[in-house]
Amino acid sequence: MQRIGVFVCHCGSNIAATVDVKKVVEMAAREPSVVHAEDYPYMCSEAGQAKIAQAVAEKGLTGIVVCSCSPRMHEATFRKAAERAGINPFMVEIANIREHCSWIHKNIEEGTEKAIILARAAIAKVNLNAPLFPGESRVTKRALVIGGGIAGIQSALDIADAGYEVDIVEKTPSIGGRMAQLDKTFPTLDCSACILTPKMVEAAAHEKIRIYTYSEVEKISGFVGDFTVDIRKKARSIDATKCTGCGVCQEKCHSKKSLSEFNRGLGTRSAIYTPFAQAIPNVPVIDREACIKFKTGKCGVCAKVCAAGAIDYEQKDEIITEKYGAIVVATGFDTIKLDKYDEYAYNQSKDVITSLELERVMNAAGPTKGHLERLSDGKHPEHIVFVQCVGSRCSDERGKPYCSKICCMYTAKHAMLIRDKYPDVKVTVFYIDVRTPGKNFDEFYRRAVEEYGVNYIKGQVGKVAPQPDGSLLVQASDLLDNKQIKLKADMVVLATAIEPDPSVRPLATMLTASIDTNNFLTEAHPKLRPVESPTAGIFLSGVCQGPKDIPETVAQAGAAAVKAIGLLAKDKLTTNPCTAKADELLCNGCSTCANVCPYGAISYETKLINDHGIREDRRVAVVNNALCQGCGACTVACPSGAMDLQGFSNRQIIAEVDAICR
């Protein structure tokens, strides 16, 4: 039999205004096992906590019920108070008579009645509570960063600067990501490469950072503090230790017609290539599907011209297995495919391009060497039309329901840069709303309108019709003028919605990290834990969590790094003791629990079981306490009632329900 103390909090008037706390004390005192009951204006205060300690000492309490606010608020507070008073912290239960009662009721009688019932349920549960003791698990002091764009680079640098080893895994041949493809950055218009490449070099040179490019994560097992990851290092066909990065192989390569991924398919590259001049590492890869040597067995010119003898046609994929304590996901984004938006004629005209393609066109290292020209005929355009929200804020299944967040600003940037460099070019922007919150953002947009004379029209474009003379007729509505308009343009630029890189889906499955309906990784709490996944040890950096611009990405990358560092700084992790546990006598090894477990925490062992004198080998479920998050899915699924959640056993919950229904 427990000796239970009940402590009812007034929470000033938050509870006491709608709950008769004296009455709650009086009724609680009548419950079996309750040996002490009192109320106090602020139980969470130091004086309130002292009352708990005092009652424990005087009455020899073994269990505690606090009738107060939500356990999310102060459960930890009261558990610590109990521990200081010499009681196992898991012998404390909270009856939430504020959020679940006083705040939602107006009638004091009804509120009081409900508070008494909630107290009774908590008392019934404590009667069946048993002391629980957290376990410990070790922490591998190395972090894995998946994705080598600005988010991954920043997270890796911050973790490495704190003194921990970091590995970056990047699937393309170079780190740099989307930011490397951009020409200028808003709102300061500084050159993207100029601010990114120093960071790339710093990451590459950092003694604590290893970079695996042209590599992908293939398998992840383990749990927070102790992940085991298989990384597939794809065959580069180059011996990186010999290659000097001279570039002769790329010049001499006979297969030069592959579309350049880096230039968004607007230019070509050789079969042996580095994506761009500042690539890190400056070691090319051979695209085996385009390489003549791999296709026909003939050629081999790159091996002949390579003075370092670095070409290795026999190279094979390599699997590297490594242990990590923390994983930062920084897989970034891509623009959506425009197949379902044929009204914009993207697939019908070369002069209709996406904004990311325009970045390459504007870039001095891009397909037009930075000259603004029509891709169909190389002519200088007279009028460029920008269309915003292509696929963003879309109410049907063609596009995305969310705002891609960066488009208003980069469109203003493009418009401004074009007007600055080519004052003869007319620029029109169609928008639904212009959304420019951010430091110096709205000022930037206003400059585009007021100083650079960019013509902003509120309205959506309905159709882009290529004309026989090669121009484009843009049909649109002008909502402020309430008119249908037709404009002749030479180029149309589509501010295409962004979506998480498709690699994030299989990765999320491997990580057992949750993703939302748009494939963005879900954060543990949208406001209070925005850079952590609900899965322990997984941190979110950059656009994989939601659309964001560069400064926001860098800020989040730093925050994710700090969270990872906080984890790596620990030698041991305390595990939550409220985990599932299988009763080996009842378990029949059916695998139902393992099938529903979202965390892969349940495995099976064949054990010698002594079932009332019958000794036999049985296959029984075993829960890994470090992996189990205590969600309780297995306890509900188990057909034989063998699975129980410690601290929330079936008996305890039924006792609570009984107490409520009494």
Partner 1 sequence: MKYSYYPGCTLKNKAKVLDAYARASALALGFELEEIRDWQCCGGVYPLGSDEIATKLSSVRALADARDHGRELVTLCSACHHVIKRVNDDMQNVADIRTRANNYMQLDTPYTGETNVLHFFEVLRDRVGFDALAKKVVNPLKGKKIGAYYGCLLLRPGEIMAFDDPENPRVMEDFIRALGAEPVVYPYRNECCGGYISLKEKEMATRMTDTIQESASGFGAEMLITACPLCRYNLNMTANGLPVVYFTELLAEALGVKEGIEA
Written as six digits, the tokens of 215 are 């590599």
What's the Rg (C-alpha) of the chain?
A: 32
Using an 8 Å Cβ cutoff, are 533 and 514 in contact?
A: yes
Using an 8 Å Cβ cutoff, are 588 and 638 in contact?
A: no
Q: Least distance (Å) from partner 1 to the CB of residue 487?
A: 15
Using an 8 Å Cβ cutoff, are 589 and 618 in contact?
A: yes
Our finding on whether 343 is near partner 1 (CB under 8 A) is yes
Of 235, 372, 465, 596, which one interacts with partner 1 (CB under 8 A)? 465
Site of tokens 């107060």: 68
> Of 62 and 471, which CB lies nearer to partner 1 in the complex structure?
471
For 437, other C-beta atoms within 10 Å of its C-beta total: 9
Beta bridge partners of 273: 285
Region binding partner 1 by CB under 8 A among candidate stretches 202-210, 371-379, 466-474, 566-574: 466-474
What is the footprint of partner 1 within residues 211-270 (CB under 8 A)?
none
> Of 260 and 392, which CB lies nearer to partner 1 in the complex structure?
392
Q: Least distance (Å) from partner 1 to the CB of residue 293?
A: 37
Of 58, 251, 342, 377, which one interacts with partner 1 (CB under 8 A)? 342
Region binding partner 1 by CB under 8 A among candidate stretches 139-147, 196-204, 337-345, 629-637: 337-345
Judged on CB neighbours under 10 Å (0-12, 13-18, 19+), 161 is middle
In the stretch 288-327, what mask flags binding to partner 1 with x, by CB under 8 A? ----------------------------------------
Using an 8 Å Cβ cutoff, are 384 and 491 in contact?
A: yes
For 441, other C-beta atoms within 10 Å of its C-beta total: 17
Our finding on whether 468 is near partner 1 (CB under 8 A) is yes
Q: Least distance (Å) from partner 1 to the CB of residue 342?
A: 3
Of 13, 45, 221, 467, which one interacts with partner 1 (CB under 8 A)? 467
Using an 8 Å Cβ cutoff, are 419 and 427 in contact?
A: yes
Q: Least distance (Å) from partner 1 to the CB of residue 343?
A: 4
Q: Least distance (Å) from partner 1 to the CB of residue 653?
A: 39
Region binding partner 1 by CB under 8 A among candidate stretches 22-30, 158-166, 262-270, 334-342: 334-342
Of 463, 488, 505, 651, which one interacts with partner 1 (CB under 8 A)? 463
In the stretch 473-512, what mask flags binding to partner 1 with x, by CB under 8 A? x---------------------------------------
Q: Least distance (Å) from partner 1 to the CB of residue 1?
A: 59
CA dist 129 and 122 (Å) reads 10
Region binding partner 1 by CB under 8 A among candidate stretches 202-210, 221-229, 284-292, 342-350: 342-350
Angle at which helix 192-205 crosses helix 150-161, to 10 degrees, equals 40
Region binding partner 1 by CB under 8 A among candidate stretches 317-325, 366-374, 410-418, 459-467: 459-467
The 8-class DSSP code of residue 432 comes to S
Written as six digits, the tokens of 381 are 């355009």
Q: Least distance (Å) from partner 1 to the CB of residue 465?
A: 4
What is the footprint of partner 1 within residues 55-114 (CB under 8 A)?
none
Alpha helical stretches, state H, 136-239: 150-161, 192-205
Angle at which helix 407-421 crosses helix 441-450, to 10 degrees, equals 40
What is the footprint of partner 1 within residues 346-375 (CB under 8 A)?
347-348
> Of 347 and 610, which CB lies nearer to partner 1 in the complex structure?
347
Q: Is 67 helix (H, G, I), strand (E, B) or coil?
A: strand
Of 6, 345, 353, 643, which one interacts with partner 1 (CB under 8 A)? 345
Q: Least distance (Å) from partner 1 to the CB of residue 399?
A: 13
Q: Least distance (Å) from partner 1 to the CB of residue 531?
A: 38
Using an 8 Å Cβ cutoff, are 487 and 476 in contact?
A: yes
> Of 465 and 565, which CB lies nearer to partner 1 in the complex structure?
465
Q: Least distance (Å) from partner 1 to the CB of residue 460?
A: 14
Q: Which residues contact 324 (CB under 8 A, 6 or more apart)?
A: 140, 142, 143, 144, 167, 227, 228, 229
CA distances from 443 to 404, 456, 536, 550 (A): 20, 15, 41, 18
> Of 45 and 347, which CB lies nearer to partner 1 in the complex structure?
347
Judged on CB neighbours under 10 Å (0-12, 13-18, 19+), 278 is middle
CA 440 to chain CA centroid, nearest Å: 27
Q: What is the pairing mode between strands 215-223 and 209-212?
A: unpaired
Region binding partner 1 by CB under 8 A among candidate stretches 155-163, 167-175, 461-469, 601-609: 461-469
Q: Least distance (Å) from partner 1 to the CB of residue 466?
A: 6
Q: Least distance (Å) from partner 1 to the CB of residue 249?
A: 41
Beta bridge partners of 220: 229
Site of tokens 């592959």: 258
Which helix (H) or strand (E) segment holds residue 54: the answer is: helix 46-59
For partner 1 (CB under 8 A), the number of binding residues is 14
Q: Least distance (Å) from partner 1 to the CB of residue 344?
A: 8
Our finding on whether 395 is near partner 1 (CB under 8 A) is no
> Of 262 and 346, which CB lies nearer to partner 1 in the complex structure?
346
Judged on CB neighbours under 10 Å (0-12, 13-18, 19+), 583 is middle
Nearest in space to 172 (alpha carbons), one of 260, 44, 290: 260
> Of 318 and 342, which CB lies nearer to partner 1 in the complex structure?
342
Q: Least distance (Å) from partner 1 to the CB of residue 468?
A: 4
Q: Give phi and psi for 354, each to the nearest 5.
A: -85, 165
Binding site for partner 1 (CB under 8 A): 340-343, 345, 347-348, 463-468, 473
